[in-house]
Structures are given as C-alpha cells and as structure tokens.
Structure 1
Amino acid sequence: MRIAVLLAATITTGMMAGLFYAYSISVMPALRDADAAVFTEVMQRINRAITNGWFFLCFAGALVFSATATVLYAISGPAEVLVPTAVGLVLYAGQLALTAGLHIPLNNALDAAGRDDPEAARRAFEPRWVPWNHVRTLLCLGAFVALCWALTRV
C-alpha cells in the first residue's frame, strides 16, 4: 500500500511539473508576441478550460498522495524513504501556496478584466505570472525528483 501511494504521489507530481513546464517553454513564449487582446482572451480561455476534473485529480491528488505517503512512511517506514517523501511534500505544498497566493488571484483578475482594457489586464498579469510560473515549475520538479529518489529507496 505504501509503495502504491508513493507511486501515485510521484506520478501526479510529475504530471503537474510537466504542465507548469509546458507553460514555461511553450504557452507563454507563444503568447509573448501576441497583441494584448489575443493574449488576454487566450489566457481567459485556458483558465476556464483547465478547471476540470482531470486537472484537479493531479493538482490535489499530488498533495493528498504525498501527504498520505509521508504519514505512512513516518508510521512504519525507513527514514531513507521518509525524508525524500517529506521533502517532496514540502516542495509541492510550496507550489500550492504560490499558486493559491499569486497565480489564482492573477487568473481571476485577468478573467474579471474582461475585454475592456486588455493592455492594462496584460500589464497587471504577465510580468508577475510568468516568472513565478518558472518558480512553481522548479518547486514541482524538485518535489518530483525527491519522490523519485524515495521510490529508489523502497
């Protein structure tokens, strides 16, 4: 059971790292040269489309599985598995805090801006969202690597 939960934590965390990485290397660079109206509309569409069950399964699942694996290994597992599992949990929780504290409010503000002033909406969104997406990508990547390391220790 512990290994299955740890594997689920690793897979869902890796999927989230890949999603954020895809934004960093393709989505946001592709939109960089788009005019403000196109940029705003595309990001609004993406933000609406991504709120689906498959996304939430991985987004929340990575936390739930990581926390469960950490507890299971804390109760009856070797420290050489517990430590990287706990590190993965902490790094992923950091990503969640960043997402909840910065990305979701920026997404909501962009959505609320509508099409009234796409230039202002973009100026308020892009310079903060993009670099912090790189940070949450690295947090997820670090969590994924830690969980992979934990799997090599079981």
Structure 2
Amino acid sequence: MTIVRTGVLVAATLLTGLMAGLFFAYSCSVMPGLAATDDRSFVQTMRWINRRILNGWFLTAFLGSMVLLVAAVALHFRNGPVLAWTGAALVLYGATLVITMRWNVPLNDQLDRAGPADDPAEVRGRFEAPWVRWNLARTITSVVAFGCLIGALVGSD
C-alpha cells in the first residue's frame, strides 16, 4: 500500500508541477512577449494558443492533477502531516481550476467570438489586463499547491 500511496503522491506532484510551470511560463514569458505586439497580432496569436492548448497532454495534466490530488488525500487520510499538505494542495489546486473556469476560459471564449469587423484594440483591451491578472492568481495558487505537495513528499512514508 505504501508504494501506491507514494506513487499517487508523486504523480499528483508531477502533474501539479507541470500545470504550475505552464501558468508561470505564461506569466513571465508568453504574455510579456505578446504585450510587445500590435493589437491584431495579439488577438490572433492568443486565439491560436487558446485553440491549440485544448489537447490530450494539457487536459491530462489539468484535470489529472485534481483526480490524483483527491486520491492522494484519500490514501493519506490517516497520516496527519501528509494529509495536511495534500489537503492544502487540493484546496489550492481547486482554486486554480475555479479561477480558470470562472475567469480565464470565459475571457478566452469572448476573444474567440470577436469577429473580423471588431476593432482589435477594443477586443484586446477587454481581454488582456483581466486575463493576465487571473493568470497570475492561478499561477500563485498552483505554485503554492506544488510546494505543498513537495512538503507532503518530504513528510511521507
């Protein structure tokens, strides 16, 4: 049973770390890089990124993290210190999912619905600042969740 508990915890840590890294990369490179582009390029590039990110690799890490976190909490239910770390990670990664689904995804959808007749500067103006702000929020929640899982690994069997 120890091997299963540890394996699930390691897998949850790996997938959560991948997601934290993805959101971090947007915060420190993708969005600052796109900030330097013209409005039309910004809108078109974000549209293509938002469409292309919906793939099996992303969805496995994005949703798999939550599934493995729930499993890790359940498997470590009798181990107080590890349970505290995994429980905190579950809450934080849950916040990451809520932020993504409540704010980032609707902004992505709004950007995608903008038509060719819409002014790219106006479309960008409605999208960029709130998207960057909410991406920073989910970067923080996912990075802290990843840190909690490292704490859980250090304190595990």
TM-score calculated relative to the size of structure 2? 0.95
Q: Partners of 1:78 and 1:54 in 2: how far apart? A: 32
User: What runs of 5+ residues in structure 1 fail to find an aligned partner?
Assistant: none
Q: 1:45 aligns with which of 48, 53, 69?
A: 48
| Residue number in structure 2 paired with 1:65 | 68
Q: CA RMSD in A?
A: 0.8
User: Offset of 1:114 from its aligned partner?
Assistant: 3.2
Q: Partners of 1:121 and 1:10 in 2: how far apart? A: 37
Q: Partners of 2:123 and 2:37 in 1: how far apart? A: 14
Q: Partners of 1:93 and 1:54 in 2: how far apart? A: 19
Q: Partners of 1:37 and 1:19 in 2: how far apart? A: 24
SS in 2 for 1:28: helix
Task: Provide the aligned length of Structure 1 versus Structure 2.
Answer: 152
8 Å contact 1:92–1:143 — kept in the other structure?
yes
Alignment of 1:21-100 (within 5 A): 21-74=24-77, 77-100=78-101
| Residue number in structure 2 paired with 1:149 | 151
TM-score calculated relative to the size of structure 1? 0.96
User: Offset of 1:80 from its aligned partner?
Assistant: 0.8
Q: Partners of 2:44 and 2:142 in 1: how far apart? A: 27
Q: Partners of 1:37 and 1:84 in 2: how far apart? A: 44
Q: In the alignment, residue 28 of structure 1 is paired with which amino acid?
A: M
Q: 1:119 aligns with which of 113, 118, 121?
A: 121
Q: Deviations over 1:118-154 (max 9, x none)?
A: 1111011001000111111010000000001000111
8 Å contact 1:6–1:69 — kept in the other structure?
yes
Q: Partners of 1:11 and 1:114 in 2: how far apart? A: 39
Identity percentage over the alignment? 45
| Residue number in structure 2 paired with 1:13 | 16
